[in-house]
């Protein structure tokens, strides 16, 4: 994220003109995106046939178009190839006391079934019959459950609807409450777990009515899962705005010293966010302003040429002196928060990094009028700063329970309060999750989980987070489905609906596993997480995910709570394949790669759009590589083992990664569809269609943006900061290519370069060639410290073999897009 600050100071370009036929062009592009996203009806699941067309705003074009032949996830699974060894669970008519596990005499609970499955070397299948399974404990799969398939039952009539809920059961005994007049609010006594000592995160933090997530009593009133409850950082349509409040932020006017101080470590915070730092982090973090791990003694990682390459490897952490510093309090303007709170310490503040690089949540310690003191939190994002004005809400305060769909749990009296939408037809079925994880797979192999709906888990944003590597993100190592140190695990044909945190995580040594054909909807945090672990710079141990495939998933409306979240996040991962997914409607980057680690990433044929809606300075795809690692997954680096901690077979140079034939549409506060941030290296970005934005390089080396179609990058109504076909703010690191691309602009400005001077234009740093450039009347409006003609530009060694021509028509743009994607609908 340092790139935005550096470029803003050194580079200023005028906004490119918005195309005069913008609506027609956008409609044509979105209609093609709709077709592209609908091309695998037997592989990509769809709950709502209108969701994709609505997200693409086709209602503003030819009208909402439902996806033809759309199927829910459960209807995409197949019966196990060998179902001879099958057992059955039925939550409605089964019995753990007398059941035998047969189809006619099933067991009632999954945990009982797992404890009574016979041991055998052949594959076993546990079929779950239709119904909702309310879980009081996590389904735990270990080595003893290897070669097991857990599947929704598949009959001649189709796959039965099977739901796993993290709520232990249904809350009953509701009565009118005197909290509000006219019996608007109801209350019930419950026996639920308490939070523990000293303001530790509460156990009860989600509530569902008739299967729909309700809203913890909050101010201002809005559902954080829908448009009206989002704080859009840059609105794209009329109903998207963030003008709830007049002011918020660190209390700089009254106590500037407190703003830059870190919040003290609090109960249950553990050492968050410092897990993974490699050394103890304190409030100033002054000892590692530019790196996380010290390199091995004598190791040429920093500022020395790589053998045979002639340019520098690089590692940096932060240009901020205190990357983990957080405000200790906040102030609000007069008129905000009009109600007084009897017990402020129940409350949670949701707010944002001052540069909108992510969201923070804090436990409230106390409130005095317009000043709020924070107990702990802010570790849900890994960069220090102040708070963003006008971007916050407070929740879990009983005085704020004032509109339908809101609820509050009073731990002191064991009472839950609910303001239902309606009681016509009876009181809604209310469930309260108490589990973070519904299925855990550890030390197992060849496990299949398929055809299930997984929902109603606790929100985890106040639990422990870690900073796994040099990127800006911190992450909670947990999920509704938790897979660790296991091999050949397949999760397919499942729906993850309104989980409280991450939906699926691959933790540490997970290999040759597949997360395929699932749908993720309104997850509290990220959809899929791949997260390893190292011993400082030493990544040689088998403690990271490798050779896994993320394919044909439908992921949307993610990041309901966490705002530094993605459809897919990876860190300390190697050889991942991300293919054929659809990802849209989220607060930050759609896919985020927090480091380069061992490389060999394959990301292809994905559709990503509507990202960076609540944050800034990001794109549909984002990568970092500030911290190099010694791994066994890279390529020969030419260094002797003696300067690499004596680690035989290790390499500091990662394998090349490829981003190919993706359909990436900029929008909202995004800057670049492909954002290779601080230090990213060894990437080929090839044959992608990038709309309203282009490629970005900042530091690093060995990157190629080639054979892409880039359509009107940087236009102000769909992008930010006027970045063009390629942004390069590095000016130092070589072997970064922009070649064989087709880029269309409205003003003939094609490059956003820092340090651009016609008297000193390094052709090893800036390497452009064989491009097809398009602008009105084939004009070349590029400046490089001075106005320059295209002929002069080429004489400086740039765009050798390139051409410049008049802008193509909409139909030509669509034809070029199909050609790049190898897509012929």
Spell out a b/e string for 128-138, using b for 16 or more CB atoms within 10 Å of the CB, else e: bbebbbbbeeb
Contact assessment for residue 94 and residue 126, using Cβ atoms and an 8 Å cutoff: no
pLDDT of residue 173: 96
Work out whether strand 415-418 and strand 186-189 pair parallel, antiparallel, or are unpaired. Answer: antiparallel
pLDDT at 127: 97
Q: What is the pLDDT of residues 63-92, one digit of tens each?
A: 778 888 899 999 999 988 776 799 999 999
Q: 323 CB contacts (<8 Å, ≥6 apart)?
A: 285, 289, 317, 382, 383, 384
Phi and psi (nearest 5°) for 366? -165, 165
In our burial notation (b when 16+ CB lie closer than 10 A, e otherwise), range 373-409 reads bbbbbbbbbbbbbbbbbbbbbbbbbbbbbbeebbbbb
Which residues on adjacent β-strands are paired with residue 674?
Answer: 621, 695
Q: Sign of torsion, CA 216 222 227 232?
A: negative
Cβ of 495: how many Cβ atoms within 10 Å? 22
Nearest to 230 by CA among 352, 58, 47: 352
Parallel, antiparallel, or unpaired: how do β-strands 387-395 and 348-353 relate?
antiparallel
Tell me what pLDDT residue 243 has: 61
Q: Are strands 371-377 and 329-332 parallel, antiparallel or unpaired?
A: antiparallel
Sign, CA dihedral 635-636-641-645, equals: negative
Q: Which residues pair with 514 in a beta bridge?
A: 490, 549
Strands 695-697 and 359-368: unpaired
Report which DSSP code applies to 400. Answer: G
Q: Check: pTM over 0.95? Answer yes or no.
A: no
Query: What per-residue confidence (pLDDT) applies to 273?
Result: 32
Question: 355 to each of 231, 562, 618, 699, how far by Cα in Å?
Answer: 14, 16, 11, 21
Rounded to whole angstroms, the Cα distance separating 782 from 788 reads 7
Q: Are 530 and 548 in contact (CB under 8 A)?
A: yes
3-state helix, strand, coil in the chain (%, to 5): 10, 30, 60
The encoded tokens of residue 173 equal 């005994």
445-479 burial: b if 16+ Cβ within 10 Å, else e:
bbbbbbbbbbbbbbbbbbbbbbbbbbbbbbbbbbb
For the CA atoms of 391, 562, 559, 674, the dihedral, rounded to the nearest 10 degrees, stands at: 90
- Confidence at residue 248, expressed as pLDDT on a 0 to 100 scale: 55
Low-confidence ranges of the chain (pLDDT < 50): 1-10, 250-323
DSSP 8-class letter at 538: B
Residue 326: CB partners within 8 Å, gap ≥ 6? 262, 263, 360, 377, 378, 379, 384
Q: What's the distance, CA 150 to chain centroid?
A: 27
Look at residues 153, 17, 11, 166 and name the one whose alpha carbon lies nearest to residue 86: 153
- Treating both helix axes as pointing N-terminal to C-terminal, what angle do 810-821 and 22-37 enclose, rounded to 10 degrees? 20
Q: State the Cα–Cα distance between residues 650 and 539, nearest whole angstrom.
A: 9
Q: With contact defined as beta carbons under 8 Å apart, do 681 and 714 qualify?
A: no
| Cα separation, 741 vs 772, whole angstroms | 6
Cα–Cα dist 581/788, whole Å: 42
Write the pLDDT tens digit of every residue in 660-679: 999 999 999 999 999 999 88
> Can you spell out the DSSP letters for 565-584?
--SEEEES-BS-EEES-EEE
Query: What pLDDT was estimated at residue 195?
Result: 66
Contacts of 368 (CB under 8 A, 6+ apart): none
**How many angstroms from the chain centroid is the CA of residue 532?**
16
């Amino acid at each position: 994220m340092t790139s935005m600050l550096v470029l803003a100071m050194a580079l200023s370009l005028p906004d490119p003109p918005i195309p005069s036929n913008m609506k027609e062009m956008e409609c044509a592009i979105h209609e093609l995106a709709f077709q592209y996203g609908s091309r695998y009806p037997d592989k990509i699941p769809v709950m709502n046939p209108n969701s994709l067309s609505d997200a693409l705003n086709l209602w503003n074009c030819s009208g909402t178009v439902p996806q033809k032949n759309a199927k829910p996830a459960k209807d995409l699974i197949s019966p196990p190839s060998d179902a001879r060894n099958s057992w059955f669970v039925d939550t409605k008519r089964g019995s753990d006391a007398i059941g035998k596990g047969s189809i006619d005499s099933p067991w009632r609970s999954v945990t009982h079934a797992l404890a009574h499955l016979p041991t055998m070397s052949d594959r076993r299948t546990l079929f779950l019959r239709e119904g909702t399974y309310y879980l009081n404990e996590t389904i735990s799969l270990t080595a003893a459950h290897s070669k097991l398939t857990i599947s929704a039952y598949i009959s001649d009539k189709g796959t039965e609807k099977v739901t796993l809920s993290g709520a232990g059961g249904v809350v009953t005994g509701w009565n009118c409450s005197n909290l509000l007049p006219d019996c608007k609010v109801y209350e019930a006594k419950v026996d639920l777990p308490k939070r523990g000592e000293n303001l530790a995160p509460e156990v009860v933090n989600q509530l569902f009515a008739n299967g729909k997530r309700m809203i913890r009593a909050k101010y201002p009133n809005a559902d954080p899962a829908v448009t009206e409850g989002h704080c859009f950082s840059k609105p794209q349509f009329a109903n998207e705005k963030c003008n709830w409040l007049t002011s918020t932020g660190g209390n700089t006017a009254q106590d500037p010293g407190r703003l830059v101080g870190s919040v003290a470590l609090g109960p249950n915070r553990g050492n968050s966010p410092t897990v993974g730092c490699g050394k103890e982090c304190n409030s100033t973090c002054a000892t590692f302003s530019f790196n996380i791990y010290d390199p091995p003694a004598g190791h040429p990682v920093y500022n020395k040429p790589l053998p045979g390459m002639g340019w520098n490897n690089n590692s940096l952490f932060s240009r901020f002196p205190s990357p983990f510093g957080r405000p200790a309090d906040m102030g609000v303007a007069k008129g905000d928060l009009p109600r007084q709170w009897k017990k402020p310490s129940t409350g949670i503040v949701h707010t944002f990094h001052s540069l909108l690089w992510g969201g923070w949540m804090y436990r409230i310690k106390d409130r005095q009028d317009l000043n709020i003191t924070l107990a702990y939190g802010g570790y849900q994002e890994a960069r220090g700063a102040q708070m963003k004005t006008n971007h916050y809400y407070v929740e879990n305060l009983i005085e704020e329970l004032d509109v339908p769909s809101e609820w509050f749990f009073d731990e002191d009296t064991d009472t839950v309060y609910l303001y239902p939408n309606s009681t016509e037809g009876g009181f809604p079925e209310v469930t309260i999750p108490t589990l973070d994880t519904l299925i855990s797979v550890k030390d197992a192999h060849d496990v299949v989980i398929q055809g299930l709906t997984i929902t109603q888990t606790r929100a985890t944003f106040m639990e422990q987070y870690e900073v796994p590597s040099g990127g800006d993100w911190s992450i909670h190592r947990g999920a509704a489905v938790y897979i660790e140190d296991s091999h050949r695990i397949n999760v397919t044909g499942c729906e993850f609906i309104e989980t409280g945190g991450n939906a699926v995580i691959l933790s540490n040594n997970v290999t040759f596993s597949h997360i395929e054909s699932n749908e993720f909807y309104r997850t509290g945090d990220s959809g899929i997480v791949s997260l390893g672990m190292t011993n400082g710079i030493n990544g040689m141990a088998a403690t990271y995910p490798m050779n896994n495939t993320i394919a044909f998933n439908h992921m949307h409306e993610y990041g309901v709570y966490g705002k530094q979240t993605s459809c897919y996040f990876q860190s300390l991962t190697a050889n991942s394949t991300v293919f054929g997914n659809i990802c849209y409607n989220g607060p930050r980057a759609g896919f985020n790669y927090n480091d380069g680690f061992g490389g060999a990433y394959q990301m292809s044929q994905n559709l990503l759009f509507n990202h960076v809606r609540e944050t800034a300075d990001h794109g549909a795809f984002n990568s970092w590589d500030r911290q190099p690692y010694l791994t066994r997954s890279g390529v020969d680096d030419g260094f002797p083992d003696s300067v690499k901690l004596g680690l035989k077979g290790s390499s500091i140079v990662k394998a090349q990664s490829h981003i190919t034939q993706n359909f990436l549409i900029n929008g909202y506060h995004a800057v670049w569809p492909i954002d290779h941030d601080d230090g990213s290296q060894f990437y080929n970005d090839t044959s992608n269609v990038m709309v309203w934005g282009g490629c970005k390089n900042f530091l690093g080396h060995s990157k190629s943006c080639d054979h892409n179609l880039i359509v009107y990058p940087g236009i102000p109504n769909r992008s930010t900061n006027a970045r063009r076909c390629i942004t390069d703010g590095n000016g130092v690191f070589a072997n970064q290519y922009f070649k064989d691309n087709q880029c269309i602009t409205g003003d003939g400005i094609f490059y956003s370069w820092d340090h651009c001077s016609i008297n000193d234009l390094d052709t090893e740093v800036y390497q452009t060639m064989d491009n097809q450039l398009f602008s009105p009347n084939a004009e070349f409006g590029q400046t490089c410290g001075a106005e320059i003609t295209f002929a002069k530009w080429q004489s400086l060694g740039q765009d050798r073999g390139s051409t410049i021509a008049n802008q193509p028509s909409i139909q030509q743009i669509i034809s070029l897009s199909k050609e790049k994607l190898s897509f012929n609908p």
